[in-house]
Amino acid sequence: MHMVVLTKGVPDFREGQVSFDEDGHLERGKTPTVMNPNDRFALEAALQTRVRHGGRVSVMSMGPPGYKEVLREAMETVYADDLHLVSDREMAAADTWATAITLSAGIETLGEPDVVFAGFKTADGETGHTGPQTNWCLDMPLVTHVISLDIDEGAGTLRAKRLVEGDIEEIETVETELPAFVVADPEFEPSYRTAGERLTLKDLREETRARAENYEEHLTVRDHADINVDPDYIGLDGSPTIVSSVDPIPKAPAEREATMVDPDDAGAMQDVLTAMQSAVGDGDGDAAAAGGD
Amino acid sequence: MTDFDPGDYEISELGPAIKDIDDLGELEEILQAEHRGQNRAPAIALIESRIEKFSEDDEEPADADGLDLASMSTAAVGNALQSVEEVSELESLLEREEAGEDRDPVTRLIRNRIDSVKGSDEEDTEIEVDDRTPEERHPDLDHPTRDKRHVRSLHGGTYRDMWVYCETQAGELVDVSKEMLGKARELMDTYNDDYTTDERVVAVLIGADVSKHVEDVIAYGADVVVVREDARLERFQHKPYTEIFCDMARAGATHQNFEVTDGRDEPWRDYDKPRYVLFPATNNGRDLSALVQAELDSGLASDCSGLYITEEVISNPVKTGVAGEKKEFQRVLHMKRPDFSGFEYSTILCIDNPTREFHPQGASVIPGSFDVPEPDHEREGLVVEHDAPLDDDWFRVTVTDYDRLDEGIDLTGHEVIVAVGRGIGDDPTKGIELALDLADQFEDAEVGVTRGIVTGSFNFDGHVEQYTHEDRQIGETGQVVAPKLYVAAGISGAVQHKVGMDESDTIVAVNTDPDARIRDFSDYFIEGDLFEVLPRLTTALKEGRFEAAVASDGGRAASTPPAGTPDDGAGAGAAADDRGESR
């Protein structure tokens, strides 16, 4: 089995602030980059497949050279065999469609994988479009929002449970043939049923430790000519959408005059307590407060 | 001297906190205070970037000759270049860099600066649109992107109408479909007035048994309904739904190499593709939106909560075709979406390139963003049945089974909601436990969370994790609650959260930052650390009065409980067992 997992570096929203340049594009330089948290589930799905069926896992990302670190992180998560970065100034400021065209061309340079995995939304764009759109370029059977996955290698089929939402929530079971494209849901749970699988997992982890230390030896960087895409159809040039403005969330006018309370001021805190008790309002609160005097 | 102590702030709070400080001296003091104090690298980076910003603002145009390039980092060169306005100076800098360190990023920065300075000098000069074909421009490539199926947009196409994909589930129209129809009706009524035209709202229904919704869809605002029914379409499937929608949108035509071929003659329409398309931002609706727009070779914004149509002046040369020149685009759908976990609103536009028209302009819409309109059953509309053949090859993914999940937690209708936000970041598991303990003091209370908790990367222990999922999210994209008592702990009060709770009778906020927005819509604002304040409130509620809570332990730990033991957090809102008596 050959699996390709897509990942992306995103600003680490836990630290500092996100900033934008004057054209409204995210300024990545000012925020540390980490692997997109949702991609972990795609990596987990690929890892589970590899543990059960063996084979090779390739991880691919599109982004600036600094994303190498993200790929290293991905290698450690999924015990990947090889890493691939498509990176080129021509690819900068791509929206999801231009990204999908680029990534699909990148994947095609890796041959014909049996399964391509992508995560759901990225923490920065939060669109959820890139996986499905990349798949549309590759024209593989697509299964999205996958929360569990079973592959029958002999029969060449894939069965998955997927999450459907709307006015009601449903779990669907779907089946398709390989090769296929899987978008993992953040609720994806890998499962390692047998001791043999858990042993394989352990061996893979050991093996990867050494590989990750010299991860750059396993990394291939490709530009637009390497993946044979036209600069007019990638990056900003190939992007239908632009960000026209980014506004701070507007500050709502004050609607209530808050009583400021110092938590060390017992009297003031007693007032809050009384207000809380009388808010639930069955009379008990007042009685209790009175009883406390 | 400043009394601002950066040590009082979490990294995530520090950015917003220093945002309004613009005095360089004060910022320097804060930086020193951080160095002396916790000396956190991200905090230092934040403060330094703030200092850098103001240092730049104050700078006089730099003397380019005075720059010692070799000693400067790439970023420092970039900053310094911004104040160099002379092309000749920039060119001499470029020569010096090339003769010296010759760093790629630096030479690129200088070249970019030269381009931008030249660009602004040449504003009056007409620059021809480069209309050479990509093959002529990039002869080194064999142009597969173009040969493959991906480029299907037109040049000189005609576009009309707003199409709305009406999702159904378990045989019913989902609410967001009605909400979108109402919004589409409103947008197109205004549009038709503004542009003196008569473009329509076109609803699309795809499924096994969907024609029963035709009348409703018209009542909610559609002028035309395009319907496809087939037994194989009972469940949503990506490939056939996308192919069918696109076949409807192009009336069966093939769009390739900027040409339209074949296509059905449909008397009700005279355009190549829709002007706008809307989809629900549900799991399936969002997938469909992405695939349809990929097939139609256009763009979209996902998870929008605001839409309007107006003109827009664009200066981006990719869109105008002319560097340094502005161009007004008409009839642009402005798509507003909460971004970056609710930090900001972005407005996304889908704009034609000079030789590649990105239509339809697409959006997916967050359920609940717009009101369900009052249906008008007198409205009349046209029904168009789609019956193009379905290709067996589209059905390679089959749905073999499906199960309805139990309803998630309903937070509405409870007397008390205890909600927590990012303020629990220091010890997220403890934060949830404290909220659960407080909720347990009431007969009918539930615990809710902000979007920041749901989408953040906090690590929760297993026993509280269930309380941190989307089904407990309060706000614009979650549930809207109006309990008798709302306790907001560690919640800053973003407007998306506010709309989910500001109808509550009594609102008590607990926050360390007295300027947190939540203060503006709270009745009581306890200025303190929730890790200290919540246990005090819990104990006080147990005891029935406050004095005891403080007196007994200073508030940090729970005092000896009068009955039972502190909950292990397994049962938020599982109603009070012993609380009735203890009060």
Domain containing residue B342: CATH number: 3.40.50.620
Round to whole Å and give the CA distance between A127 and B528. 37
Find all residues with CB under 8 Å of B171, minimum gap 6, and list them.
B209
Closest listed residue to residue A238, CA positions, set B472, B458, B138: B138
Task: Specify if B154 maps to a domain.
Answer: no
Q: Which CATH number fits domain A2-238: 3.40.50.10490, 3.10.20.30, 3.30.450.40, 3.40.50.620?
A: 3.40.50.620
CATH number at residue B550: 3.40.50.1220
| Residue ranges of domains in chain A | 2-238, 258-293
3-class SS at B160?
Answer: strand
- Domain end, chosen from B97, B121, B145, is at B121
- Domain end, chosen from B347, B364, B395, is at B395
Cβ pair A258:B509 closer than 8 A: yes
Residues B420, B391 share a domain: no
3-class SS at A43?
Answer: helix
How do the pLDDT tens digits run along chain B, 583 residues long? Answer: 567 888 887 776 777 778 778 788 888 888 888 888 887 777 787 788 777 766 655 444 456 667 777 777 776 777 778 777 788 888 888 888 888 877 777 887 888 788 777 755 544 444 455 666 656 766 666 655 545 568 899 999 999 999 999 999 989 999 999 999 999 999 999 999 999 999 999 999 999 999 999 999 999 999 999 999 999 999 999 999 999 999 999 999 999 888 999 999 999 999 999 999 999 999 999 999 999 999 999 999 999 999 999 999 998 889 998 888 889 999 999 999 987 555 678 899 999 999 899 999 999 999 888 999 999 999 999 999 999 999 999 999 999 999 887 767 889 889 999 999 999 999 999 999 999 999 999 999 999 999 888 877 788 888 898 899 888 999 877 888 999 999 999 999 887 888 899 989 999 999 999 988 899 999 999 999 999 999 999 999 988 877 655 544 444 444 334 443 444 433 333 333 333 333 3
Residues B462, B432 share a domain: yes
Q: Characterize B102-128 residue by residue with b for buried, 16 or more Cβ atoms within 10 angstroms of its Cβ, and e for exposed.
A: ebeebbebbeebbeebeeeeeeeeeee
Closest listed residue to residue B532, CA positions, set B513, B558, B556: B556
Residues B571, B444 share a domain: yes
Residues B549, B446 share a domain: yes
Query: Which of chain A's residues have a Cβ under 8 Å away from the Cβ of B239?
Result: 141-142
The token pair that represents B58 in the structure block: 């104050």
Residue of A nearest to B360 (CA): A240
Residues B260, B350 share a domain: yes
Q: Determine contact, residues B418/B451, Cβ cutoff 8 Å.
A: no
Nearest-by-Cβ selection for A236 from B235, B303, B318: B318
Task: Specify if B136 maps to a domain.
Answer: no
Half-sphere exposure of A15 (CA within 13 A, CB side): 17
Alpha carbon distances (Å) from B306 to A252, B338, B361, B369, B469: 17, 9, 14, 7, 25
Round to whole Å and give the CA distance between B355 and A211. 47
Residue of B nearest to A130 (CA): B290
Cβ pair B405:A168 closer than 8 A: yes
Query: Which of chain A's residues have a Cβ under 8 Å away from the Cβ of B487?
Result: 276
The total number of structural domains in chain B stands at 3
Cβ pair B146:A251 closer than 8 A: no
Round to whole Å and give the CA distance between B214 and B205. 8
Determine the angle formed by the axes of helices B238-249 and B283-295, rounding to 10 degrees. Answer: 50
Task: Specify if B271 maps to a domain.
Answer: yes
- Please provide residue B468's backbone torsions phi and psi, each rounded to the nearest 5 degrees: -110, 10
The token pair that represents B375 in the structure block: 């249906």
Nearest-by-Cβ selection for B545 from A32, A248, A289: A289
- Domain end, chosen from B62, B95, B121, is at B121
Cβ pair A167:B175 closer than 8 A: yes
Residue B309: which domain range?
159-395
Task: Specify if B1 maps to a domain.
Answer: no
Residues B194, B87 share a domain: no
Q: Which helix (H) or strand (E) is B510 found in, with range?
A: strand B506-511
The token pair that represents A196 in the structure block: 């043999």
Residues B575, B482 share a domain: yes
Q: How far is A79 from chain B (nearest CA, A)?
A: 22
Round to whole Å and give the CA distance between B104 and B97. 10
Q: Determine contact, residues B399/B315, Cβ cutoff 8 Å.
A: no
If 0-12 CB within 10 Å is exposed, 13-18 middle and 19+ buried, where does residue B270 land? exposed
Round to whole Å and give the CA distance between A65 and B559. 56
Q: Determine contact, residues A134/A8, Cβ cutoff 8 Å.
A: no
Residues B296, B381 share a domain: yes
Residues B427, B366 share a domain: no
Q: Is the pTM of this model over 0.90?
A: no
Chosen for mutation from A127, A145, A260, A265 (greatest number of chain B CBs closer than 10 Å) is: A127
Chosen for mutation from B303, B453, B466, B524 (greatest number of chain A CBs closer than 10 Å) is: B524
Query: Which of chain A's residues have a Cβ under 8 Å away from the Cβ of B442?
Result: 280
Residue of A nearest to B393 (CA): A141
The DSSP letter of residue A190 is -
Which ipTM did the prediction report?
Answer: 0.86
N residues, chain B? 583
Query: Which of chain B's residues have a Cβ under 8 Å away from the Cβ of A164?
Result: 169, 236, 283-284, 402
Task: Specify if B372 maps to a domain.
Answer: yes
Q: Which helix (H) or strand (E) is B96 found in, with range?
A: helix B87-99
